């Protein structure tokens, strides 16, 4: 039961009931009409938001560089807004150094680094890192293998000692390797059920052929075959002073970092810088369509692309601007057309991957099976448009603003600053590259963006990989080029060639037009 404690409140509620009840049927309450009037008055007097100001250049803190006697380069960035420090040891060898028959070896070694050292078991290592309130990680990619740690600045010396121990003294115990193998086999079995994983693997295999970039992961056969000796041999060859560099960013001084690095890494062997020997990359003269048959799929995963450009190429920034117009975000052409206009997908994008050697341009999406052909056609409409005509002034301005104005989000923590220095060293970019980065974006003209797109986006020579139920669309894709249907393992199941356009039938004599009358 509701009790009205205040007589004034009781009267107010009763009055509201009477006013509401006495109003004409369907009429809006008095309060709503008043609120409308207030809102109308506010709108008439509301000033438009101020125009955005001129973007300011973002300068990175200076990078202090020194080198140990064994060749290990030390890069220090002082960023003392927070009492934290990030340290990352980068070994300049990754998947491109995997030996034949053991794809993914670099990644497997990286995974084993956290599973114990010659001085601590896996459990002890995890406990000591947790006691510090720190994070320890190890990973690899195509170019590098990483070992990193984040800790409070007051724990820097201890954290550095742990980092060096993990990197230089891995135990590689057989029992830990057996556990890793089981985890990896389980992960790969799960990945084989993911169409996106299958599409990426098939795309890179076809795009790069025998080049090391072709392998995007290890394989069950390699996991079963790898031994402790394989890992120790790889680690001993590549984890050496001259083949690595250290990046430390946070609330530290260069003197602190140099002293800690000398203490913890001085006994590391110099070794030598290992420059990978890359084979020739495949050249593609015509468009090629590969359909990876996955019966039962209700969606098609689409990858379209070509070999593009090394990261250090001077055309990288204009190409980024062109790609931003095409598919770099949810405001770009691909997304706005394939999702917002045609409702074919939840998202369609494009990107240019960073590689020391030539990286790929890729446009991608997942669509319903029944609209696969329409989606492929839409992709090629935009790929052909981006290489034929300059972006409109508004598109160009929006793309440059997005790339330029989002850059400060890449420098707002010590960890992100460290990542930018890793990028500098990996791709051998100039030390002032990031200081000039935003100016270079804003200075990019429409003609420069068009030139970059024409040079490095090749719709007529594109590789198209589609993972889905081939029976529903494969043969009809011949309107875009020759089609090969394969199994997820790469076995050819069918091939379809484009049909030449039929010639109009020649008129028979009886259908010939009558001779003109003179």
DSSP three-state, residue 155: helix
Residue 151 CA, chain-centre distance (Å), reads 26
Q: Which helix (H) or strand (E) holds 200?
A: helix 195-208
Mean pLDDT for 326-338 is 97
Give percent of the chain with pLDDT exceeding 90. Answer: 80
Query: What are the structure tokens assigned to 149, written together?
Result: 């740690």
Distances (CA, A) of 282 to 2, 93, 174, 208, 210: 81, 23, 39, 6, 8
Residue with tokens 């973002």: 58
Distance separating alpha carbons of residues 359 and 306, to the nearest angstrom:
9
Length reported for the chain: 518
Cα-based angle 188, 194, 197 (whole degrees, multiple of 5) = 75
pLDDT for the residue numbered 60 = 83
Distance separating alpha carbons of residues 208 and 206, to the nearest angstrom:
6
55-64 per-position pLDDT tens digit: 666 678 999 9
Residue 402 CA, chain-centre distance (Å), reads 17
Q: Which residues of 404-417 are buried (b: 16+ CB within 10 A; e: fewer)?
A: beebeeebebbbeb
User: Considering the chain, what is the average pLDDT of its residues?
Assistant: 89
445-488 per-position pLDDT tens digit: 999 999 999 999 999 999 999 999 999 999 999 999 999 999 99
78-137 per-position pLDDT tens digit: 999 999 999 999 999 999 999 989 999 999 999 999 999 999 999 999 999 999 999 999
Distance separating alpha carbons of residues 82 and 152, to the nearest angstrom:
9
What are the chain's domains? 63-265 (3.30.830.10), 288-421+430-496 (3.30.830.10)
Distance separating alpha carbons of residues 123 and 132, to the nearest angstrom:
15
| pLDDT band at residue 15 under the 50/70/90 scheme | very low
Distance separating alpha carbons of residues 442 and 437, to the nearest angstrom:
9
Distances (CA, A) of 279 to 142, 208, 214, 282, 455: 15, 10, 11, 9, 22
Look up the pTM and report it: 0.85
pLDDT for the residue numbered 278 = 77
Greater confidence (441 vs 2) lies with: 441
Q: Give the number of other Cβ atoms within 10 Å of residue 146's Cβ.
A: 19
Distances (CA, A) of 359 to 295, 334, 420: 31, 21, 19
pLDDT for the residue numbered 59 = 75
Beta bridge partners of 310: none
Q: Which helix (H) or strand (E) holds 465?
A: strand 463-468
Mean pLDDT for 410-416 is 92
- Residue 244's nearest CA partner among 361, 335, 164, 154 is 164
**Minimum mean pLDDT among 168-172, 390-394, 427-431, 495-499: which range?**
495-499
**φ/ψ bin of 172: left (φ > 0), alpha (ψ from -120 to 50), beta (otherwise):** left
Identify whether the C-beta of residue 472 lies closer than 8 Å to the C-beta of residue 298: no
Query: What are the structure tokens assigned to 366, written together?
Result: 């997942």
8-state DSSP, 304 = E
Distance separating alpha carbons of residues 363 and 343, to the nearest angstrom:
17
Greater confidence (302 vs 210) lies with: 302
pLDDT for the residue numbered 46 = 65
pLDDT surpassing 60 at residue 354: yes
Query: What are the structure tokens assigned to 182, written together?
Result: 């089981």
pLDDT for the residue numbered 55 = 62
Residue with tokens 């080049």: 211
Mean pLDDT for 373-383 is 98
Give percent of the chain with pLDDT exceeding 70. Answer: 85
| pLDDT band at residue 369 under the 50/70/90 scheme | very high
| pLDDT band at residue 434 under the 50/70/90 scheme | very high
Distance separating alpha carbons of residues 167 and 148, to the nearest angstrom:
9
**φ/ψ bin of 410: left (φ > 0), alpha (ψ from -120 to 50), beta (otherwise):** alpha
Greater confidence (50 vs 273) lies with: 273
Beta bridge partners of 305: 362, 463
- Residue 224's nearest CA partner among 184, 187, 192 is 184
pLDDT surpassing 60 at residue 30: no
């Amino acid at each position: 039961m509701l009790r009205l404690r205040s007589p004034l409140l009781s009267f107010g509620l009763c009055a509201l009931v009477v006013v509401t009840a006495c109003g004409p049927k369907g009429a809006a309450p008095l309060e709503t009409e008043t609120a409308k009037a207030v809102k109308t008055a506010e709108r008439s007097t509301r000033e438009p938001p101020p125009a955005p100001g001129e973007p300011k250049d973002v300068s990175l803190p200076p990078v202090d560089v020194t080198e140990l006697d064994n060749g290990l380069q030390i890069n220090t960035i002082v960023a003392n807004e927070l009492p934290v420090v990030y340290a990352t040891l980068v070994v300049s060898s990754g998947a491109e150094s995997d030996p034949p028959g053991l794809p993914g070896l670099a990644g497997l070694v990286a995974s084993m680094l956290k599973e114990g050292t010659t001085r601590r078991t896996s459990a002890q290592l995890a406990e000591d890192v947790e006691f510090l309130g720190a994070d320890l990680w190890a990973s690899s990619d195509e170019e590098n293998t990483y070992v990193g740690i984040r800790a409070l600045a007051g724990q820097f010396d201890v954290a550095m000692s742990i980092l060096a121990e993990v990197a230089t003294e891995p135990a590689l115990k057989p029992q830990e390797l057996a556990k890793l193998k089981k985890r990896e086999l389980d992960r790969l079995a799960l990945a084989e059920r993911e169409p996106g994983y299958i599409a990426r693997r098939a795309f890179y295999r076809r795009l790069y052929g025998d080049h090391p970039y072709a392998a995007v992961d290890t394989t069950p056969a390699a996991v079963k075959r790898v031994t402790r000796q394989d890992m120790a041999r790889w680690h001993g060859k590549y984890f050496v002073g001259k083949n690595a560099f250290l990046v430390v960013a946070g609330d530290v001084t260069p003197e602190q970092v140099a002293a800690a690095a000398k203490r913890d890494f001085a006994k590391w062997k110099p070794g030598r810088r290992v420059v990978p020997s890359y084979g020739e990359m495949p050249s593609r003269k015509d468009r090629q369509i590969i359909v990876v048959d996955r019966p039962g799929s209700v969606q098609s995963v689409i990858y379209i692309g070509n070999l593009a450009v090394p990261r250090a190429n001077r055309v990288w920034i204009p190409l980024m601007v062109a790609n931003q117009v095409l598919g770099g975000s949810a405001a770009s052409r691909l997304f706005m057309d394939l999702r917002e206009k045609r409702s074919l997908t939840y998202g369609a994008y494009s990107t240019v991957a960073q590689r020391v050697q030539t990286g790929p341009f890729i446009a991608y999406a997942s669509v319903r099976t029944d609209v696969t052909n329409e989606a492929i056609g839409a992709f090629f409409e935009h790929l052909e448009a981006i290489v034929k005509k300059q972006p409109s002034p508004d598109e160009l301005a929006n793309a440059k603003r997005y790339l330029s104005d989002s850059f400060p989000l890449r420098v707002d923590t010590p960890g992100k600053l460290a990542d930018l220095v890793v990028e500098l060293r990996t791709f051998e970019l100039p030390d002032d590259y990031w200081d000039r980065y935003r100016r270079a974006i804003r200075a990019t003209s429409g003609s420069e963006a068009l030139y970059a797109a024409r040079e490095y986006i090749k719709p007529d020579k594109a590789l198209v990989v589609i993972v889905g139920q081939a029976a529903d669309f494969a043969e009809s894709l011949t309107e875009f080029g020759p089609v090969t249907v394969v199994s997820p393992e790469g076995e050819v199941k069918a091939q379809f060639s484009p049909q030449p356009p039929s010639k109009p039938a020649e008129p028979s004599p009886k259908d010939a037009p009558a001779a003109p009358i003179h």
